[in-house]
A = this chain, B = another copy of it.
Amino acid sequence: MGMIGGSQEAFIGAVHRRGSQLDGEIELVCGAFSSSAEKSKATGEALYLPENRVYGSYEEMILKEKELPEGERMDFVSIVTPNHVHFPAAKMALENGFHVVCDKPATLNLAEAKELKKIIDKSGLIFALTHNYTAYPMVKEAKHLVDSGQLGDIRKIVVEYPQGWLIDLVEATGQKQAAWRTDPARCGAAGAIGDIGTHCENLIEYITGLHIKELCADLTIFVEGRQLDDDGNILIHYNNGAKGILHCSQICNGEENDFNFRIYGVRRESHGTKWSRIRWCLGRATTERGLFVRP
């Protein structure tokens, strides 16, 4: 694996690295950890990578690694940069023969997504889009319950992702995490809907296999001066006739990261009520001491 982004100051890079170690099948061999060559170098050292495998840019990494023999060069890139870099980096990696594991979103807008699709098809390589929540054991358990038919047909789904950290114009203070997430140029066309709403859609599709057939969305910018939606309430019709609700928000004051879902099926309870519905709560805030989960 070659990592693009994920320097020591980044948010999600270290999380991906730890995740990549969990099954013992992946080895980090190189990285372009920052757009600053100096920070990239420092990060590479801290990770015990040899100097010549630590690069100052992803362009440099892709071109140099390409020259190494197979078995020695990286097999794929892991892209963990802010959103606006995902597409150009993925494009270049695919066009130079490297598989891509990319953090969501794949692109900044639909046009780029369609272009990316063509590039992937043409390359014949893997493009994997990561959403962190699908990895949790209890999510696997939920998927298993549905797949094994214990709920029967799904009728109704409620998925919500309320946060409260942006109740004020936090981006105006220069707070790092807020700054890029509220800037269309750096994060894309969507605010809350893109940052956390996508997790809702992805998680439900992952667990149930259902797709959104049509929806009715009410997106709002509550905080004056903000450029992108900070609250979204959506009615959903799924492809199997199920109905549901998806809401995500960055202005639910007091909520840290209360991502949760409920999936209701038709089978009447047999042995214990829990097989007829799944009711889970993920999330809760990251703390200084690490990410924690309440399953």
- Residues of A near any B CB (own CB < 8 A): 17-18, 21-22, 24, 47-48, 136-138, 140-141, 144, 151, 155-156, 158, 160, 162, 164, 167-168, 216, 218, 220, 222, 231, 233, 235, 237, 243-245, 247, 249, 251-255, 262, 264-269, 271-274, 276-277, 279, 284, 287, 289-295
Contacts A17-B24, A160-B158, A295-B292; is A243 near B266 (CB within 8 Å)?
no
Contacts A231-B156, A233-B243, A245-B233; is A269 near B254 (CB within 8 Å)?
yes
Query: What residues of chain B lie closer than 8 Å to A218, measured between beta carbons?
Result: 216, 235, 237, 243
A245 to chain B, nearest CB (A): 5
Cβ–Cβ contact A271 & B268, under 8 A: no
CA distance in complex: A18, B18 (Å):
9
- Chain A binding surface SS class: mixed
Cβ–Cβ contact B22 & A287, under 8 A: no
CA distance in complex: A220, B151 (Å):
20
Cβ–Cβ contact B262 & A277, under 8 A: no
Contacts A249-B156, A264-B251; is A273 near B276 (CB within 8 Å)?
no
Cβ–Cβ contact B277 & A252, under 8 A: yes
CA distance in complex: A287, B243 (Å):
30
Query: What residues of chain B lie closer than 8 Å to A167, measured between beta carbons?
Result: 266, 268
Who on chain B is nearest to A266 by CB?
A: B167
- The listed residue with most B CB atoms (<10 A of its CB), out of A244, A247, A254, is A254
Contact partner, A287, options B47, B137, B265, B287, Cβ 8 Å: B137
Cβ–Cβ contact B137 & A292, under 8 A: yes
Cβ–Cβ contact B164 & A277, under 8 A: yes
Contact partner, A243, options B18, B144, B220, Cβ 8 Å: B220
CA distance in complex: A222, B17 (Å):
45
CA distance in complex: A290, B141 (Å):
10
CA distance in complex: A201, B277 (Å):
26
Query: What residues of chain B lie closer than 8 Å to A141, measured between beta carbons?
Result: 287, 289
Who on chain B is nearest to A143 by CB?
A: B289
Query: What residues of chain B lie closer than 8 Å to A251, measured between beta carbons?
Result: 155-156, 264
CA distance in complex: A89, B271 (Å):
46
A98 to chain B, nearest CB (A): 22
A89 to chain B, nearest CB (A): 23
Cβ–Cβ contact A264 & B254, under 8 A: yes
